Amino acid sequence: MAARRVRPSLYLSVDIEADGPIPGPYSMLSFGAAVAGTQDADGFTPADAEKLTFYRELRPISAEFVPEALAVSGLDRERLGREGAEPAAALGEFTDWVRDVSVGAQPVMCGYPASYDWMFLYWYLIRFTGASPFGHSGCLDMKTLYAAKARLPLRAVAKGTMPRELLSRRRHTHHALDDAIEQAELFANLMA
């Protein structure tokens, strides 16, 4: 019996900045994505994380926000209310970008940790476009990946406990595109 050829996975590092703990009552204010690499039956091939990227700042969807959460990103809600992209338009553009960069591969969102970013991204995709280019489960958490490879309990893992050679040399800035690129480099190192 011939082996079934599986489509390669294209890993997209995504980072979001939000003004609260959950989507709906609170807003995703910006998101960035960077192609991290491709995995097929022959292994993982890293990408130049700065080459294929996407970034948008969004208009808030509610008046509610947590000041401490907003302070993390340094984004200005009033400015975003005037200048931010409409979520439906931005998420539609993102979906088109994901489809363009992942031709012939299955897109997988990856993040560190992915749970927060995935929750906002998936909710926004479903709410504003009706679908997700990642499906309902195309998400990989880098923190869990490292814990499994290092044979450590998940709660023992933090970037500060990882070997320095795995980490990106970039600063974590809380700018969604900067951090997506930083995390794409971490992902490529974890896969190497």
| Residues with catalytic roles | 174
Burial of residue 67, with CB atoms counted within 10 A of its CB: 0-12 exposed, 13-18 middle, 19 or more buried: exposed
Radius of gyration of the chain, Cα coordinates, nearest whole angstrom:
17
The sign of the CA dihedral 108, 109, 112, 113 is negative
Q: Rounded to an integer, what distance in angstroms lies between the CA atom of residue 181 and that of residue 11?
A: 12
Q: Rounded to an integer, what distance in angstroms lies between the CA atom of residue 16 and that of residue 50?
A: 17
Burial of residue 2, with CB atoms counted within 10 A of its CB: 0-12 exposed, 13-18 middle, 19 or more buried: exposed
**What is the DSSP-derived secondary structure letter of residue 42?**
T
Token pair of 174 as six digits: 């809380």
Contact status, residue 156 vs residue 149, Cβ threshold 8 Å: no
Total count of residues recorded for the chain: 192
